[in-house]
Amino acid sequence: MTRPLNTALDGLRLSPIRRFSDLAKSTPGCVSLTLGEPGENTPDAVSAHVGADLAAHLTHYPPNNGYPFLKEAISGWEAKRGLSYAPDQLIVTDGATEALMCALTIVLNPGDEAIIPTPAFLLYDSLVRLNRATPVALDTTPDGFQVRRDRLEAALTPATKAIVVTSPNNPTGCVLDDQSMDALADAAIEHDLYVICDDVYSELAYKSGYRRLLVAHPELRERAVVVQSFSKPWAMTGWRLGWAESTPELISAMAKVHQYAVSSVPAFLQHAAVEALRTDTTPMRESYRRRRDVTLKALEEMGLPVTRPEGAFYAFPDIRGLGLSSEDFCERAIREAGVALVPGTAFGAEGFARLSYACDKDTLRLGLERLSGFVSTLG
C-alpha cells in the first residue's frame, strides 16, 4: 500500500512508559518501578461474581451504557462522595481510557485547543491530537505542580475549548490546592470551556481536606465530564472498567462514540463491578500512604528533591542536579543498577523521573536501595 494513513496519527507516539517497562522486563533481575499497576490482586469477593455470572449465562449483549443495576450502584457510590449524578447521567466504559477518548472526541473540533496542566499522563495529549485539535501544555513545574492564574491566563487563546484536570496527578502524585481549583473554575466559566476531570486517583488521595474539583466547584457541572476508573482503588487494571458522569446531553453524545467504538463493556463483569463499589478502599489507601512515606524518606536520603505526593502512587523526583537527561538517567539506572523508572519526558517534563510505589513493599525497598546506589555514583 502506498496511500497514506490517517495523518492525525503522525504526532502520536507509543507510550514511553511501556518502552521503559519492557526494557526493565528484558533486563534480567531488574526491579521495575515503572507501571501504575497495583501490586495487590483484585479482591476475591469481586472476582467471585464473574464465575457466577458466566454460569448464569450473562453472556449476551448488555445495554450499551451499562446495566441499570451497575449505574445505580455507581450513582449511589458517587452521591456518598458528594457528587450526585442520576443513572442516566452515567456511562460505563472500557476503563477511564475510553471515557477520556469519548469525552475529548465529543468536545473537540479540528483546530480547537485543549489546555493540559503538565507534567501529565500522555494519553490526554494523544487523544487531543487524534481529534485534530492542539494540546497546549501548561507548565506547572515552577509552581510546585499547582495551577497558577497568571500562567493559566497566558495559555488561554480564543481557540481554547477545554481543559483537562487530574488530582491526584499522574506522574507527580500532587493534589491541586484551592488556589489552583479556583483559578481553573474561574477560567472555565469566563472562557466558556469544557472541563474534563480525570478523577481516577480520587480514592487514593491521602491529604486531609482533599476535595475533588466538582465537589469544590459544583458550578462547573454543566460543562464538566468526570472520568472514573475501577483500575486503581480495587487493583482492577486488567478488567478495563471505568465510567464517566456528566449532563444528560454530554452523556448522550459520548454514548454515540462509545456505541461505535466498543458497544459496551462485558456483561459478566458488571455484578463484580458493583461488588468493588461495596469494597472499602481505606486499606489500599493506607498501604500506599505508608509506601509513600518510605519512598520520600529514601529520596531525601539520596538528596533528590521531590514535591510531596499527596495521593496516587507516584513520586516525581527532580534529577536536574545530576547532569543527565531523564532518558539517559532512566536507561543507565536500568543497565547499571537494575532499577527502572520512567523518564519525565514521557509526561512532558524533562529533568524528572517517575517512580511508581504501587509495587509490593519488598520490591520497593530493593528498588530504592538500587536507586540510591546508582545516584551515589553520579554525585
Ligand X SMILES: Cc1ncc(COP(=O)(O)O)c(C=O)c1O
**Grid coordinates standing for 198?**
480525570
**Grid coordinates standing for 96?**
477511564
Q: Which is nearer to ligand X, 231 or 270 (CB)?
A: 231
Told to check if 193 binds ligand X by CB under 6 A, we report no
- C-beta of 204: minimal distance to ligand X in Å? 11
The region that residue 231 occupies, defined by phi over 0 for left and psi between -120 and 50 for alpha, beta otherwise, is alpha
Q: In the bound complex, which residue of the shown chain has the CB atom lying closest to ligand X?
A: 95
Segment interacting with ligand X, rule: CB under 6 A, options 205-213, 229-237, 244-252, 302-310: 229-237
Told to check if 307 binds ligand X by CB under 6 A, we report no
**Could you give the string, one character per residue 97-136, with x where binding to ligand X holds by CB under 6 A and - elsewhere?**
x-----------------------x---------------
Q: Measured in whole angstroms, how far is the alpha carbon of residue 120 from the centre of its chain? A: 8
Site residues for ligand X, 29-68, by CB under 6 A, read 36
Q: Residue 311, SS3?
A: strand
List of residues 6+ apart from 70 with CB closer than 8 A: 92, 270, 271, 273, 274
Which position among 119, 233, 242, 351 is part of the footprint of ligand X (CB under 6 A)?
242
Told to check if 330 binds ligand X by CB under 6 A, we report no
Query: From the CA atom positions of the chain, what is the Rg in Å?
Result: 21
Which position among 96, 277, 322, 375 is part of the footprint of ligand X (CB under 6 A)?
96
Q: Measured in whole angstroms, how far is the alpha carbon of residue 147 from the centre of its chain? A: 17
Encode 110-147: b = buried (16+ Cβ within 10 Å), e = exposed.
eebbbbbbbbbbbbbbbbbbbbebbbbbbebbebebbb
- C-beta of 294: minimal distance to ligand X in Å? 21
Segment interacting with ligand X, rule: CB under 6 A, options 49-57, 90-98, 153-161, 189-197: 90-98
Q: Give contact residues for ligand X (rule: CB under 6 A).
A: 36, 95-97, 121, 166, 170, 198, 200, 229, 231, 237, 242
